[in-house]
A and B are shown apart, each in its own frame.
Chain A
Amino acid sequence: MSQWKRTPVESAGAVVHDTRLDNGLRVLVVERHTDPVVASMCWYRVGSKSEHPDEAGMSHFLEHMMFKGTPTFGKGSVDREITRLGGSNNAFTSYDYTAYWFELASDRWETALDLEADRMQGLLLDPEEFESEKAVVLEELSMGLDDPWRRLSQDMSPLLWGRHPYSRPIIGYRDVLARMTPESMRAFYQRFYHPGNATVVVSGDVEPEAAFDAIAKRYGSIPAGPRWEDHDPWRPALEPPPGAQRLELTWDDPGRRILMAWPTGPVGEQADLACDLSTTVLATGRLSRMYRKLVLEKKLASFVAAHNDARQEGGSLLLYAEANQGVEMQALEAALQAEIADFAKAPPSAVEFERAQSILAAGERSETETVTDLAEHVGEYAIDRDWPMAFELTAMRRKLTPEDLQAFAQTYLTPERCVTGTSMPTTQS
């Protein structure tokens, strides 16, 4: 067995074992024996930001095709094998990564490795299957277009992210997807799917040495592949938006929606941590500022929500609200702007600040309740920064002060950096 670093993580009741195979595969075994369950995940450092414009949607489409067979395990084998074993499996694609997961009872979890290691290379990409699955992806795209919030967010992205690929939807565009071929996908697959660009996380009821041997047996002989740095496409650095920007859409229902967005900083950096705390002070729970003022006192909104959309190269603070019937959208927008301006004028009170810290700390404990939660939490940070950060967030946030939140607001949440989108009823417009 290779040398590995063993790190107990008391807050998660787990021990993390960390090593790398000779071919570059990162291996993280997260040992926790509370239930006879094992989660196994494989993370690839490829997402929609890795795509050239004519590949928009390729990462996600490829994620679908990963279930369509290899010479060893034919089409549908992954689902059939896992169903037979009473397990679950699925996958997801983000702007920054693509991840595949299995959850199985601990007496049979190694089958997940057989399947996952096999499809790292040699995917069939059968032309007939490719076209059939393309139709499925196009239906998924249609589903998203029927969601007024998603439509608004998608249309605002180019204003928020400019020429950076974060401006494109993960699922891509209908015309770009239509032009994709098995050959173009194979080239993309070969660029990114290899051990040097992957992290395997196994979490739950496993003995670490046995787990490592099982992983090495399946993945150890796969060639390292090209250096990721040589193939990740060039993309422009994120730039601040060129002044305040607006987008106005209509939708044929009575909903009057507003989404305000400000670009912030990369995941794990101070701006990201301050963004977590700020969104919590502003709009998480019944004691949050915006719920109390805009929903209860002024009765302007039926709901207000704030979200930190954290990403590797730069995230954003998103503020969602829906106007109550009879309320002018301008009044709601002005009130939202006033709350943000207030947030920049003075630091949050000690009580607000402490409440936000506690809510986020408690949330982190809940995020590791199951072994799949744990694998996802560790894997995501392993890809975005490094896995120990997954368990250091509370301590890192504790180093911030209320004044740091004020400074965050003054730096990032300015009117000049804000992209505002509204969706109003078609009839009214």
Chain B
Amino acid sequence: MSQSTSGVPAPGSLIIARERFVLPGGGILLVSRRPKAPVTAIRIHMRGGISLDPPGREGMAEWVGGLLDQGTTDRDEAGIADFIEPFGGSVSGDASGLRGSMAGDHWQRLLQIMMEMAARPTFPDAAVAVQFERLATHLRVQEEDPRVQGGRVFRRLVYGQHRLALPSGGTLASLEQVTAADLRAHHAAHWGSSRAILAVCGDVDPGEVHAQVLEHLKDWNVGSPLPKQEHRFPVSETRAEAFQKGREQVHVYFGHLGVRRSVADYPSLVVMDHVLGSGPGFVNRLSKKLRDEQGLAYSVYGDIHSSAGLLPGTFTAYIGTAPDKVEQAVRGIREEVRAICQDQVEPEELAMAKDYVTGSMVLGYERASRRAASLVAQEVHGFPEDHLETLRSAYAKVELDDVLASAQRHLFPEDSCLAASGSVTTEQLKSLLE
């Protein structure tokens, strides 16, 4: 049991017991048994994701994952639905793979249909055309929605020409470049079983799951190894842009390129985030100052750790505020980011943040889907089975100097991007960064 600075002991074991199987071809199966669990969750994670999108056809990986349910060699969309819906099952897909859940004792059905969808989808021309039409309607609306566009402008400013600058679900322009045949080709190239990580969590027998997966695997091509890719990101510098549209609120995003999950400072950054702008309640600095004391917003946060992945995420500070409060809000956010880079946080702030991050880790794993997601993340990042315990110990060891040093290494308040959407102009934003 780890101990945090104020003496509140961290509760409970954090090891999600699981069995790990290496499948023929190299895919991985993780099974976590939980007796009497009311729901079984299954994930089929495919390595690669949106980084495999061809230039100009951004959204391809997302649409392939999302449209696996349009038909397989054995059944059409209605047949897939008929196989699981009446049993309380559901499946959805995106660029990272498939996720499904099933109540009760019908997990075999869920596993069967998900394996079938992953291995043998057909992307029928007519069905894909209908879905693309729906998607186009959705994307057209999104293109005029400041609640969506603020975040998109911010990512463009931060990621420049990199794939991550564009939405994972593509754009109207990229959608027009893609056909059902392209989806089939992308699937054939990138959905081999060797790149798959399967996680099954529920009241299941690991040996039985393994046996059934092996049986279903016979119909799934092994595929090719994940190609090596080089990633280039723009340097951090001041950039500002607005998406202008008359609305009650302005959505403001301030920040820059973030860190990879593998960064050595990760535990310190998690603690720093909880002092600066994330976590529950309103005890962090951004919430306390901008929401509680100044009444500028209902929603305000700041965070660098939650987007850290195999590729760098972002440091993002967000506030939704009134048009006449934008200047005050931006200055307030920047002041807080500067402050956490300049001075040690207060010992009480550090203790509270550590108590929270160590104490809260036991919560949240009741849900089968959360356990499955955690198992997949462990495998993707190459973490050992006890990594949550190790992480909790690392959080408990974070000191005042670590937080300051991490902030100074990873936060750049003078070289940040500023994006906003609503009743606001680019010139206005640029003036705020001068």
Contacts and interface: CB of A to CB of B under 8 A. Distances in A.
B346 to A, nearest CB: 13
Contact of B352 (A83, A287, A299, A365): A83
Nearest to A327: B137
B36 A13 contact: yes
Contact of A139 (B69, B293, B296, B355): B296
Interface stretch (B224-232, B244-252, B254-262, B334-342): B244-252
B23 interface: no
Interface of A: prevailing SS: mixed
Contact of A87 (B38, B89, B359): B359
Given A103-B363, A359-B86, A135 B296 contact: yes
Given A37-B366, A79-B280, A136 B138 contact: no
A354 interface: yes
Contacts of A147: 147
A355 B86 contact: yes
A132 B249 contact: no
Given A86-B358, A139-B321, A146-B147, A105 B281 contact: no
B184 to A, nearest CB: 20
A217 interface: no
Contacts of B9: 107
A35 interface: yes
A252 B144 contact: yes
A369 B202 CA distance: 11
Contacts of B321: 139
Interface of B: prevailing SS: mixed
Contacts of B283: 76, 79-80, 83
B141 A132 contact: no
A80 B8 CA distance: 13
Contacts of A361: 88
Nearest to A425: B144
B292 A76 contact: yes
B233 interface: no
Nearest to A361: B88
Given A302-B137, A362-B88, A139 B363 contact: no
B360 A87 contact: yes
A362 B302 CA distance: 38
A369 B368 contact: yes
Nearest to B279: A83
Contact of A84 (B87, B89, B356, B365): B356
A358 B69 CA distance: 21
A88 B363 contact: yes
Interface string A389-424: 000000000000000000000000000000000000
Interface in B11-51: 11-12, 34, 36-39
Contacts of B6: 84
A368 B145 CA distance: 35
Given A36-B362, A37-B363, A136-B291, A322 B87 contact: no
B144 A325 contact: no
Contacts of B308: none
B280 A369 contact: no
Given A136-B295, A325-B136, A83 B355 contact: yes
Interface string A24-66: 0000000000111100000000000000000000000000000
B87 A358 contact: yes
Nearest to A355: B86
Given A136-B298, A140-B298, A80 B352 contact: yes
12 contacts: A13-B36, A34-B36, A83-B356, A86-B356, A86-B362, A133-B295, A147-B147, A252-B245, A361-B88, A362-B104, A368-B38, A369-B368
Given A132-B293, A136-B291, 16 more contacts: A13-B38, A36-B362, A82-B281, A83-B279, A85-B359, A86-B10, A86-B356, A88-B363, A90-B280, A131-B295, A136-B295, A139-B295, A146-B248, A255-B141, A358-B86, A365-B39
